[in-house]
Amino acid sequence: MNSPTLAPLARRTAIRPIRMIHLGLGNFFRAHQAWYTDTASDAAEWGYAAFDGRSPRMSTLLRPQGGAYTLVTQAPGGDELRVVESLSAVHAATEAAAWLGYFEDPQVAIVTLTITEAGYRVDPDGAHAHEVAALRSDPRAAVASAVGRMVAGLLARRAAGAGGIVLLPCDNLPDNGPGLREAVTRYADRVDPTLLAWIDAHVTFGSTMVDRITPATTPALVAEVERQGGFADSAPVPTEPFTEWVIACDFPAGRPDWDATFVDDVTPYEHRKHWLLNGSHSLLAYRGLLLGHVTVRDAILDPDCRGWVERWWDEAQRHIVLDADSNAAYRGHLIERYENPSIRHELAQISMDGSEKLLGRVLPVVLAEREAGRVPEAALMVLGAWVAFLRARPVPVRDPRADELCELAALPDLGDAARALVAVLDADLASDDQALDGIVAAADALLAAREGAAR
């Protein structure tokens, strides 16, 4: 590990003025949006107030460090350590007064979010009805859901007359800007319908495509940073050299000088990233775990997994409108990233939340291939691998619908289990016998291969 000379972590150069809020204080945010802000030419002018999504774990670790942490960029030729100082304040999710206070500050111009796909799904008439009732009674009531917190913040900003603000989602959610707008306005309409006109006039919803592989932090990384950096850091973040951020948004009150790509429409870039990178990640996770692999690198070095990744890419690329040379280069970068020996990206981590992730990563290609009159063989294999994963459970299933999925996967007949699981994703696809046959065949072959390897 190549270590530059670093000041002790607790010795920050300066606390930057808070002009942005972030919700979701996880590793990806700290390797991506926080890093982009820290490396901007005007970084000294833009500080973040960052909040945990639910668990207070990360704010508890970062608060004694003043919000600073080490980003460890892991490259085949050696690692680089950088102390990131763009977090001027860190807060637990329960610090509702602080949350509202930042929204009331007219100097705060941008709110970014990394709350994962599940965080955008709200039901103000059902599961979140108690939050709606609380905000109706008291606009400053503490609420737990991400969208509820957005609406509470906007109510406070309107009451304070603090002016416009940008909400910028940074999750792997198709059409994340329109998705956030729909979720916020639907929720707001239940709380206070008069807020909708204010939102139309004062809130800008941007769309983004984000990309940077960011594994989980391990005790070994914590120890290595202390050894090489000469300071203790309870929350370092490992990441890869590659990073990409594509943004479609106006920023009426300004923004940091991010080294991002600014476009009118992120959709083509979004499709390429979601289908080629995220789709192949899901393929490698489910197929790779069933075949005994642990990391992305392990799986991509397996000719079986590599072959299916290439077939998936060929199938998905038919529906990506960016030019062929650009797509070919992107695929080459993906192989380099997957084979990076310095990055330990565990398949178990990627396997999480399949019932949410597959909706944007795989189903669009299935539907596009069927509309073109073709059988989406590679896409059906990915879905078959998911079915086999849920049936065999090589690692614990972590999904918002885990109990339901595991119960369906345990149905005695594989065909019945596959049809029930696919119906969770798309009822129409579950009724397509030809597609279901492909999914069942893929699942059956993987389960047989797993059983054979265990003998």
Structure tokens at 452: 């054979």
* Three-state DSSP class for residue 431: coil
- What is the per-residue pLDDT across 334-363, written as a single tens digit (0 to 9) for each? 999 999 998 889 999 999 999 999 999 999
> Quick one: pLDDT at residue 238?
95
Measured CA to CA, the distance from residue 365 to residue 52 in angstroms comes to 34
Structure tokens at 301: 């070095």
> Quick one: pLDDT at residue 4?
40
pLDDT-derived band at 229 (thresholds 50, 70, 90) equals: confident
- Of the CA atoms within 13 Å of residue 413, those in its CB half-sphere come to 4
Contact 59, 280 (CB under 8 A): no
> Quick one: pLDDT at residue 1?
40
Whole-prediction pTM: 0.84
Instruction: Report residue 87: phi and psi, to 5°.
Output: -90, 105
Q: Torsion angle, CA of 103/109/115/118, rounded to 10 degrees?
A: 80
Is residue 14 over pLDDT 80?
no
Is residue 73 over pLDDT 50?
yes
Q: What is the mean pLDDT of the chain?
A: 94
Measured CA to CA, the distance from residue 113 to residue 357 in angstroms comes to 17
Structure tokens at 367: 């539907």
Structure tokens at 66: 């003043």
Mean pLDDT of 152-168: 98
Measured CA to CA, the distance from residue 382 to residue 283 in angstroms comes to 5
Mean pLDDT of 64-91: 94
Structure tokens at 25: 């204080």
Is residue 11 over pLDDT 70?
no
Q: Can you list the alpha helix ranges (DSSP code H) found in 161-213?
A: 176-191, 195-202
Measured CA to CA, the distance from residue 38 to residue 274 in angstroms comes to 26
- What is the per-residue pLDDT across 18-33, written as a single tens digit (0 to 9) for each? 999 999 999 999 999 9
Tell me which residue has tokens 């998905």: 316
Contacts with 152 (C-beta within 8 Å, 6 or more apart), sequence order: 96, 99, 100, 135, 139, 140, 141, 143
Measured CA to CA, the distance from residue 23 to residue 46 in angstroms comes to 16
Could you tell me which of 42, 22, 44 has the C-alpha nearest to residue 34?
A: 22
Percentage of the chain with pLDDT > 90? 88
> Quick one: pLDDT at residue 176?
94
For the ranges 227-231, 312-316, 365-369, the lowest mean pLDDT is seen at 227-231
Is residue 3 over pLDDT 50?
no
- Please report how the helices 96-103 and 146-160 are oriented relative to each other, as an axis angle in degrees rounded to 10: 50
Q: Which amino acid is at 96?
A: A
Q: Which residues of 120-131 are buried (b: 16+ CB within 10 A; e: fewer)?
A: bbbebeeebeeb
Is residue 250 over pLDDT 60?
yes
* Three-state DSSP class for residue 77: coil
- What is the per-residue pLDDT across 265-274, written as a single tens digit (0 to 9) for each? 999 999 999 9
Is residue 13 over pLDDT 70?
no
Measured CA to CA, the distance from residue 362 to residue 275 in angstroms comes to 7
Measured CA to CA, the distance from residue 109 to residue 252 in angstroms comes to 8
Could you tell me which of 40, 201, 183 has the C-alpha nearest to residue 120?
A: 183
Contact 222, 185 (CB under 8 A): no
* Three-state DSSP class for residue 262: strand
The 3-class secondary structure across 32-50, one letter per residue, is CHHHHHHCCCCHHHCEEEE
Is residue 98 over pLDDT 60?
yes
Could you tell me which of 114, 110, 147, 89 has the C-alpha nearest to residue 21?
A: 110
How long, in residues, is the chain?
Answer: 455
Q: Which amino acid is at 307?
A: G
* Three-state DSSP class for residue 398: coil
> Quick one: pLDDT at residue 7?
45
> Quick one: pLDDT at residue 78?
87
Q: Which amino acid is at 342?
A: S
Contacts with 155 (C-beta within 8 Å, 6 or more apart), sequence order: 135, 139, 140, 191, 192, 195
Q: Which amino acid is at 61?
A: L
Is residue 2 over pLDDT 70?
no
